[in-house]
Structures are given as C-alpha cells and as structure tokens.
C-alpha cells in the first residue's frame, strides 16, 4: 500500500497518535510483547515427578498398597510429594529470578505522540503509532516506512541472511512480495545498522512476523551452560554406579533376607532415588539465577545465565576509556588557535561558565567565530532543556562542543545562529573515520564544519585560520599543531580539531581541503571508583587493558591516573596493528596495556589474539560496529546507557551504569557463585555416597536391611533441600579475590575430590552400620531407629565441613540459613522419634544419652577428618 493508504487504514497521521488514542488501542490490541511460553507453576511442579525412578517408586508403592502395606506406602508417597514441593520451590525461585532479569533488559521505542518525540517502553506501542529508528536501534514493531534516510537493516533474525538490507519508504510493492524483499517495511527484532527512518506501526506483539515465527517454533531453550553440562555428566556417571549398587541391594535383600520382592524393590528404588544426584544441575541453575539477580542489583545485568560462570574465569578486561573508565562528562577546557589561547570555566556539562582569553594575541572576534561554528555544528541535535538527558544518550563529545559554544556566544544568540546556518547535510561521527561533518547554508553559500581526531582533520586540511586570515598549512605549521595536540594529550586531555571550508559546489567532498581553526582540549576525569577497581582486579589476577579510539598520549595519561603503569612499550596504536600479522600481534599482545587510535574492527583482532594466548577475555563496546568483537569475546559487555541495542544484543552482560568498576564487581560475583557451587556439590555427594555405602555395607555384612524405604527417602529430603542451597550462598572464601582466576578447563569436582568425598561417605556408613550392629540385640526397630538417626544427624558434620575449603567452620561468619536448616532437620528428627508419628515411621524413642552420642560422634569424626584433610591439603 502507499503511505497515505496505510495511514488512513490505521486512522493515524505522520504526527502520530494522541496519548488517549494510544491508550485505547493498547487495551484493544494488547501489549507489544511476544509472550514467551512461560512455564506455568503447575508444569514446573509436575515435572518434579517426571523421573523414571520416581515413577517406578510410585508404582511399587501402589502395588504394595494392594498387598496390604497401606500406611507405609502412603507415607512413601507423601514423602515423594514433599520432595516434589522442595524441588518445585527451588526451580520456581530460579524461574522468577530469570524472569526479573528478562524484564530488566526490556527494550524501549522512540515514538511520536501528539507530534512530540518520546521514548517509551516498547511494550506500549500500538498499531498506528509513528516510530523513529536510528543507527543501533532494535526495531520495536513491524512498521511501514514513511520516510527513510540511508536506512540499512540487519534482518538476519527473520531471514537468516546477515548482509545488510537497504530500505526505501518511497516504493510501493506488489502484494505477493516476500518478506525479504519488502523494502518499505521494517520488522520487529531486526536492527538498524545505518541511517534512520520513520514508520507507521502496522503490527505489534504476536501479530508481527517474528511473533508468528516464535509461535510456530516455540521458545528456543537456553543451551545448557558448560557448568550444567559438567554436572549432568558427573550425575550420569554416578547414577550408573548407584543404579548397579541398588540392583545388587534388591537382589541380596530378596534372596538372602527372604523379604517380599516388593519390599526389596522399594528399598532398592528408594536408595536410587535418594542417591542419584539428579538435582545437581537444578541447584546449580538456582544458584546462578540467584547470583544473576544479585549482580543486577549492582548494575550488572546478565543476559545469559552462562555469563555468570564465565565471568568468574575472566582474566583480561578490555575496556573502553570514555565514559567507562572516565565519567564521560566532558568539558572543553582550552581552545588553542594559531593566534590565541582561551580557557573555559565551569564544570562537566553544566552550561554555566565563561571563556577567558589567556594569551595577548587572543581576540574576542576569533572566539565568537569559533562559538558560532560550534553551535551551528551541534545545536540541531541538542536542545538545552534536555541537555542532561541527552548527555547520557547522545555523544558527549558533541555536547561538550555545544556547551563551549554556548559559553562563548550566550544562550540568547543560539536561535539566531541556528537559523543563520541552515543545516543541509550531516555525516555522523564514525569510529572508523573518527570525524564528523555538518553542511550548512549561510547567506547563499555552503559551508562545511568538521570536528574530529586532530591527525585525521589535519591530514585533510590545506589551510590554517590565522585570525583573521587563512594561511597555507605548511608542514612546519602542521608539526607545530601536532606538538600542541601531544602536549594536551600527555596531560590527559581528549583532543578534537575544528575545521571548516566554504564549498564551491554542492557535490564536492565536505571533508577535504579544510581550513583548520584550532584544537579543543577536553577534560574527562576518571571515575573515582575506577582506581580502586583496577587494583582489585589486579589482585584477582585480572589484567585491565584500555582499548580506545583516542590519542595514545591521552590514553596513557588516563591509564596512569587510574593506577596502570604504562610506558611506550605497553602501547600499541591502530596503525601499528594494521601492519602486524595475527602471529605478530599474539607475540606482543600480553604486554600491551593501552591500545590507542583503534577502530572497532581492530577490537576483534585484539580479542582473538588474547584468546589464542589462552586468556578469557571480557570486552566492552557500545556501537553497532562493536558487535562482532562483543560476540567474539568470552564475555561481551555492552554499555546500558550509551550502548546501542545492537551492542546489547551481542553482549552477555550489560552495565546499567556504564562503569568499569561494575565489571570488576560482576567478575567478583561470578567467581563467588562459581566457586561456591563446590560447597553444595561436595556436601550432597558425600551425603549420597554415605547413604549408598550404609545400605550396601549392611547388606554385605549380612545384616538385616538397615533402613526402611521411607527412612532413606526422608534422609534424602532433609539433606538435599535447604542445607544444600544455604551452602551455595556461603560467604566467599577468604582468598577468593586475591587468587588468580581458575584455569581453563578446571572442573568443579576433581577425581581427588571425589575420592575424599567417598572417604567421608565411608566414615558415615561406618558409624551408622556400627551403631546399628551394636543395637541389634535391642530389637530390629530400635536398631533401625538408631541407624536412621545417626545418618540424619551426621549431615551436621558434612554440612559444617563443607562450609569452607580454607577455614574450619567456627572461624567463618555465621551462615544463618544453614543453621536454621540444620536446626530444622534436628527438630523434625526429634518429632519423628518422640511423638506418635513414630508409629508411621517405625521408630521408637531413644534414650537421650544414646541420641546425644549418635548425634555427636559422626559429626566430630567428620569435622576431624575435614581438618586433617585441610592440613594435608587434600580436600580438593
């Protein structure tokens, strides 16, 4: 359809809808989101029982009900239900945490409402809205273009084709044009690589093309993280062993003890259910999700769960300088021209301040001319009222130039200058060109105004403004200018050259044959928190590398300000990189601390070289061009404030505050969560091995079966749930942030570690079987009660010993959650022994002194073993 037709059909206009109308349509069409198939709580709950072992166990219990063992079987089923509830709580919590994370990353849209441009939550878009999309944006809904300017879009999410697609609002296409060829349409989920465009929204949410695809194929499941894979692998191997043992237990119980086959089966299956560590990946996921939520509270938003564990192993951070290491609140401090020197007062982006001539040869007229150029060059995109909002969204460099102009010409003259220099064209700043130009019409003539990196602008200049005349730019003069630039740069100033030229004809290159006006020296002080964060990173064995488009000397000065020791040999510039082969780069990359004057394309090579050298690399980025490097890095980090949607989509971590210090915080959290996973795993494995060894050992010793099925399930219930999670949230180990990152390929559970855990399992079994055998002459029920209680209470020893690898538990800060969990299971055990419930569980009250002995002995022994292992350094 033609644009007019579309607008009419949707009862809208190029000015957009009114807020009232939009509100009405929102009710009618629903929010602009693609419902991801959220797992309903019921499904999560039911899934807890979707386990062959559990199903067999339930069937066996049902059979035993038929055979008359009514109470026992019902109890088994109740315990299974409680286990299901526990598993559900854990998984539901993880799911909630993930959902909260997804909400944080929700996109925004630029929309015209009542003719005014606003930024709103993309979910509130409705058909008929007029949207604006620009370079770096994610297209928020399906829209028919009504204007376009050099618009290029990446439609790979829809078509799988990654070459940029050019768009054109002016064409009208036949109705059967395929999606890939619809040049006058833009689609939700695609991203704008270049240019800008306006469009009228024609479909939102599930009615968009991507919405249709999502519905058809269902939500893609997040791939398992390496960690989950490791745990699944470990779980599988252990399961095989445990199932084999369980089978032997069934056989011996049935054949040697002459029990009914159903009793034997129930014992064996209960043992399998209890000991197979199928909950390991779930616990890991829950802890990663909890970690991710805590990171989000500290401004580090994880987009993929896998990032939490990957963060923990990072050993090189490649960071942007401007805005990440520095505050990004730039102010032009000096203006240098061939004739004069001017100083500016004020602070950051605050418009208050004035210009002061410093040298005698400075002239107010010259300053005024520079002020006019500066305002003309920047004011079309900046409106003083919204300076602060734009400060965070638009280019801070442009804003600094604007404010400098403002200080010179005064706010009352802005409008006059703006209309005097009518804007007719713009070449936006580009990290690769390192320049920006605007073209204006001034009293019938065309003038181009250029700002950019000094050496780039200098190369394109042929003359120099020596107020009030233009002179030829000789190589001597060019050298003099470069010396000025270097002087400023070495003091940490960002430098920017300003130039202009009158254009003879509209077709000529506006960025060639320029007249250089002067150099702007911009201050952008480092953030206060960065110096400390760099030091923290260093102590953790994480190297900080600055990768910047800025001048080498500026970058070195800033690096020194934040405590990085740099000399010439630690710096590599973009042009040197261009001359190097990948192998040469790999050879030197380890000693480089500052990469200066690099383009986004260089970043990919830097990441590759570092990875080749075995490093785990985190790389920051914000622009469209940064996406490949962000994807290549082990951890891509996008800026939440300055970053484009494209950069965010390519990243695993988004910094809500753009701050380098937040990266270090996130690495610390990642390390903490990952290393802490060892604790619940150690604990669970040794408890499970203890259960298996106890039941199996008693059989081997020719004793009557030691635990009833419901006892085994109960032991599993009280150990598996809360204590395990509580251990995962233990305080960080004392040396966690001062030791080097874990090496590549490090495993959570090592062979030696498993051996040690097996030993603890044997110890638990030894005590339990020993006490059992000793008490047998007081009757089977009494002896089983002793065994049951011993194994439940031995969990104390294992839980306390698992708290830390480095320190005995009493030297650690209290873990209240763990203590509550342990107290809880003790009280439950007392209830099972001393209340009428004991009928159900086939237990008898024990004499208090016996309870105390069987409660303390294994725990003390386990703690002693743990201390011994720690002394010998073999617990890991």
**Which residues of this chain interact with Mg ion, rule CB under 5 A?**
320, 322
* R_g of the chain computed on alpha carbons: 34
Q: How far apart are CA 215 and CA 21, in angstroms?
A: 28
CB of 195 to ligand ADP, least distance (A): 17
Residue from 137, 152, 309, 398 in contact with ligand ADP (CB under 6 A): 398
- Please check whether residue 456 is in contact with residue 430, taking contact to mean a CB–CB distance below 8 angstroms: no
The catalytically annotated residue of 72, 137, 320, 626 is 320
Among 368, 419, 426, 367, which Cα is nearest to 395's? 426
Q: Any contact of residue 327 with ligand ADP (CB under 6 A)? A: no
Q: What is the CA 768 to chain-centroid distance, rounded?
A: 46
Q: For residues 331 and 350, give the distance between their C-alpha atoms in angstroms, rounded to a whole number.
A: 9
Contacted entry of ligand ADP, Mg ion, none for residue 12, CB cut-off 5 to 8 Å set by kind: none
Residue 199 touches ligand ADP, criterion: CB under 6 A: no
Judged by CB under 6 A, how many residues of this single chain contact ligand ADP?
Answer: 20
Q: Which residues pair with 331 in a beta bridge?
A: 523
With CA atoms as reference, report the closest residue to 225 among 130, 315, 94: 94
Closest CB to ligand ADP among 602 and 608? Answer: 602
Q: Among 250-258, 430-438, 535-543, 587-595, which window interacts with ligand ADP (CB under 6 A)?
A: 430-438
Nearest approach, Cβ of 522 to Mg ion (angstroms)?
A: 13
Structure tokens that stand for 813 in this block: 């800060």
> Does 378 engage in binding with ligand ADP (CB under 6 A)?
no
| Angle, alpha carbons 402-350-640 (nearest 5°) | 80
Q: Is 214 in the site for ligand ADP (CB under 6 A)?
A: no
Taking the least distance from each CB to ligand ADP, the nearer of 137 and 626 is 626
Q: List, as one string, the DSSP characters of 672-685.
A: HHHHHHHHHHHHHH
Partner whose binding site includes residue 768, from ligand ADP, Mg ion, none (CB under 5 to 8 Å by kind): none
Residue 460 contacts ligand ADP per CB under 6 A: no
Say which entry of Mg ion, ligand ADP, none residue 436 contacts (CB below 5 to 8 A, set by partner kind). ligand ADP
451 binds ligand ADP (CB under 6 A): yes
Binding mask 78-97 for ligand ADP (x = CB under 6 A): --------------------
From the list ligand ADP, Mg ion, none, pick the one residue 707 interacts with, judged by a Cβ distance below 5 to 8 Å according to partner type.
Answer: none
Does 319 bind ligand ADP (CB under 6 A)? Our answer is no
Residue number with the smallest Cβ distance to ligand ADP: 549
Calpha distance 348→391 (Å, rounded): 10
With CB atoms as reference, the residue minimizing the distance to Mg ion is: 322
> Contact 720/279 with Cβ under 8 angstroms?
yes
CB neighbours of residue 586 within 10 Å: 17
Q: What's the DSSP call for residue 736?
A: T
Question: By three-state DSSP, how is residue 48 classified?
Answer: coil
Q: Do the Cβ atoms of 283 and 680 come closer than 8 Å?
A: yes
Q: Which of 265, 496, 592, 706 binds ligand ADP (CB under 6 A)?
A: 496
End-to-end CA distance of the chain: 69
The H-assigned helical ranges of 613-721 are 627-632, 645-650, 660-700, 709-720
Instruction: Show the tokens assigned to 822.
Output: 């342990």
Burial readout 703-737 (b: 16 or more C-beta within 10 A, e: otherwise): bebbbbbbbbbbbbbbbbbbbbbbbbbbeebeebb
Q: Rule CB under 6 A: say whether 397 interacts with ligand ADP.
A: yes
Please report the DSSP string for 314-345 in residue order.
Answer: --EEEE-STTTTB----EEEEEE-SS-EEEE-
Residue 730 binding ligand ADP, by CB under 6 A: no
Nearer to ligand ADP, 210 or 453 (CB): 453
Cis peptide before 334 (omega within 30 of 0): no
395 binding ligand ADP? (CB under 6 A): yes
Give residue for tokens 């300053």.
Answer: 367
DSSP-assigned letter for residue 874: -
Which residues, other chains included, contact 556 with Cβ-Cβ below 8 Å and sequence gap of 6+? Answer: 490, 566, 571, 594, 596
- Of Mg ion, ligand ADP, none, which one sits near residue 451, judging by CB under 5 to 8 A according to partner kind? ligand ADP
Q: Which of 340, 452, 643, 761 binds ligand ADP (CB under 6 A)?
A: 452
Active site residue 720: no
Q: Name which of ligand ADP, Mg ion, none residue 636 binds, using a CB cut-off of 5 to 8 Å depending on partner kind.
A: none
* Distance in angstroms (rounded) separating the CA atoms of residues 510 and 491: 32
Pick from 69, 309, 320, 733 the residue near ligand ADP by CB under 6 A: 320
Nearer to ligand ADP, 511 or 634 (CB): 511
Beta carbon nearer to Mg ion, 322 or 676:
322
Asked if 431 interacts with ligand ADP (CB under 6 A), we say yes
Judge whether 98 and 289 are in contact, CB under 8 Å.
Answer: yes
Q: How far is the CB of 4 from ligand ADP (least distance, A)?
A: 37
**In the block, which residue shows the tokens 């951890």?**
635
Of residues 147 and 427, the one with the C-beta less far from ligand ADP: 427
Binds ligand ADP by CB under 6 A, chosen from 110, 198, 494, 608:
494
Rule CB under 6 A: say whether 733 interacts with ligand ADP: no
Least CB distance from residue 593 to ligand ADP, whole Å?
15
Contact region for ligand ADP (CB under 6 A) — 300-308, 448-456, 663-671, 716-724?
A: 448-456
Q: Does 600 bind ligand ADP (CB under 6 A)?
A: no
In what helix (H) or strand (E) does residue 120 lie, and over which residues does it extend?
strand 116-121
Q: Is 437 in the site for ligand ADP (CB under 6 A)?
A: no
182: helix, coil or strand? coil
Q: Which listed residue (550, 649, 795, 805) binds ligand ADP by CB under 6 A? A: 550
Is there binding between residue 548 and ligand ADP (CB under 6 A)? yes
Judged by beta carbon distances under 5 to 8 A according to partner kind, the member of Mg ion, ligand ADP, none in contact with residue 431 is ligand ADP
Binding residues vs ligand ADP (CB under 6 A): 320-322, 395, 397-398, 429, 431, 434, 436, 451-453, 494-496, 548-551
Catalytic site residues?
320
């Amino acid at each position: 359809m033609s644009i007019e037709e579309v607008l009419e059909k949707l009862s809208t206009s190029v000015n957009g809808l009114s807020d009232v109308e939009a509100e009405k349509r929102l009710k009618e069409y629903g929010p602009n989101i693609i419902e991801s198939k959220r797992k309903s709580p019921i499904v999560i709950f039911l899934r807890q029982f979707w386990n062959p072992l559990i199903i067999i166990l339930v069937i066996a219990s049902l059979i035993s009900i038929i055979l008359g063992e009514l109470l026992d079987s019902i109890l088994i089923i109740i315990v299974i239900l409680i286990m299901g509830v526990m598993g559900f709580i854990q998984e539901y919590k993880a799911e909630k945490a993930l959902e909260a994370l997804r909400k944080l990353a929700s996109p925004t849209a630029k929309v015209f409402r009542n003719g005014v441009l606003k930024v709103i939550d993309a979910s509130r878009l409705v058909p008929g809205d007029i949207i604006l999309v620009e370079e770096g944006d994610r297209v928020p809904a399906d829209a028919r273009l009504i204007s376009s300017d050099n618009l290029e879009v990446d439609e790979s999410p829809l078509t799988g084709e990654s070459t940029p697609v050019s768009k054109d609002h002016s064409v009208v296409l036949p109705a059967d044009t395929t999606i890939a060829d619809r040049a006058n349409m833009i689609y939700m989920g695609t991203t704008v690589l270049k240019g800008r465009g306006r469009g009228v929204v024609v479909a939102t949410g599930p009615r968009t093309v991507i919405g249709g695809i999502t519905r058809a194929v269902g939500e893609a499941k997040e791939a398992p993280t390496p960690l989950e894979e490791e745990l699944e692998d470990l779980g599988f191997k252990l399961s095989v062993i445990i199932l084999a043992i369980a089978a032997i237990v069934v056989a011996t119980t049935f054949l040697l003890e002459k029990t009914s086959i159903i009793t034997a089966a129930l014992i064996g299956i209960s043992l399998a259910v209890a000991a197979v560590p199928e909950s390991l990946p779930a616990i890991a996921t829950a802890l990663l999700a909890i970690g991710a939520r805590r990171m989000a509270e500290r401004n580090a938003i994880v987009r993929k769960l896998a990032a939490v564990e990957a963060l923990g192993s990072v050993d090189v951070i490649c960071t942007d300088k401007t805005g990440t290491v520095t505050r990004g609140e730039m102010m032009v401090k000096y203006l240098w021209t061939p004739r004069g020197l001017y100083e500016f007062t004020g602070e950051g982006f605050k418009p208050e301040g004035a210009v002061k001539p410093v040298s005698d040869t400075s002239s107010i007229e010259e300053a005024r001319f520079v002020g006019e150029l500066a305002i003309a060059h920047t004011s079309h995109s900046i409106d003083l009222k919204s300076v602060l909002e734009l400060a965070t969204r638009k280019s801070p460099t442009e804003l600094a130039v604007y404010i400098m102009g403002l200080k010179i010409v005064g706010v009352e003259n802005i409008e006059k200058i703006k209309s005097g220099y009518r804007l007719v064209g713009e070449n936006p700043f580009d990290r690769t060109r390192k320049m920006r130009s605007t073209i204006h019409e001034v009293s019938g003539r065309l003038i181009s105004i250029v700002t950019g990196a000094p050496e780039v602008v200098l190369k394109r200049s042929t003359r120099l403004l020596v107020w009030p005349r233009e002179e030829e730019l000789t190589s001597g003069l060019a050298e003099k200018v470069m010396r000025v630039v270097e002087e400023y740069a070495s003091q940490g100033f960002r430098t920017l050259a300003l130039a202009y030229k009158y254009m003879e004809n509209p077709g000529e290159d506006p960025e060639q044959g320029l007249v250089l006006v002067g150099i702007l020296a911009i201050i952008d002080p480092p953030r206060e928190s960065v110096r400390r964060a760099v030091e923290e990173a260093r102590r953790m064995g994480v190297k900080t590398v600055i990768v910047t488009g800025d001048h080498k000397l500026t970058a070195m000065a800033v690096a020194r300000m934040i405590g990085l020791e740099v000399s010439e040999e630690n710096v590599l510039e973009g042009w040197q990189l261009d001359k190097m082969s990948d192998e040469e780069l790999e050879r030197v990359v380890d000693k480089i601390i500052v990469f200066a004057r690099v383009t986004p394309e260089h970043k990919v090579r830097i990441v590759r070289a570092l990875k080749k050298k075995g490093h785990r690399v985190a790389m920051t980025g914000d622009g469209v061009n940064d996406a490949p490097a962000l994807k290549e890095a082990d951890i891509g980090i996008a800026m939440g404030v300055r970053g484009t949607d494209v950069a965010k989509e390519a990243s695993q971590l988004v910094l809500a505050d753009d701050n380098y210090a937040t990266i270090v915080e996130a690495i610390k959290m990642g390390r903490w969560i990952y290393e802490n996973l060892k604790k619940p795993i150690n604990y669970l494995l040794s408890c499970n091995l203890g259960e298996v060894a106890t039941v199996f050992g008693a059989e081997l010793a020719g004793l009557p079966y030691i635990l009833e099925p419901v006892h085994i399930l109960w032991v599993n219930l009280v150990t598996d749930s809360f204590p395990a999670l509580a251990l995962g949230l233990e305080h960080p180990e004392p040396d966690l942030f001062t030791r080097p990152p874990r090496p590549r390929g490090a495993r959570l559970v090592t062979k030696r570690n498993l051996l040690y855990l097996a030993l603890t399992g044997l110890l638990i079994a030894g005590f339990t079987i020993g006490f059992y055998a000793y008490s047998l002459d007081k009757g089977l029920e009494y002896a089983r009660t002793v065994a049951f209680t011993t194994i439940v209470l031995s969990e104390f020893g294992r839980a306390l010993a698992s708290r830390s690898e480095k320190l005995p538990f009493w030297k650690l800060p209290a873990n209240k959650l763990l203590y509550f969990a342990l107290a809880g299971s003790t009280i439950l055990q007392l209830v099972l022994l001393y209340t009428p419930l004991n009928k159900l569980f086939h237990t008898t009250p024990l004499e208090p002194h016996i309870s105390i002995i069987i409660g303390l002995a294994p725990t003390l022994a386990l703690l002693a073993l743990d201390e011994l292992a720690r002394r010998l350094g073999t617990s890991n």
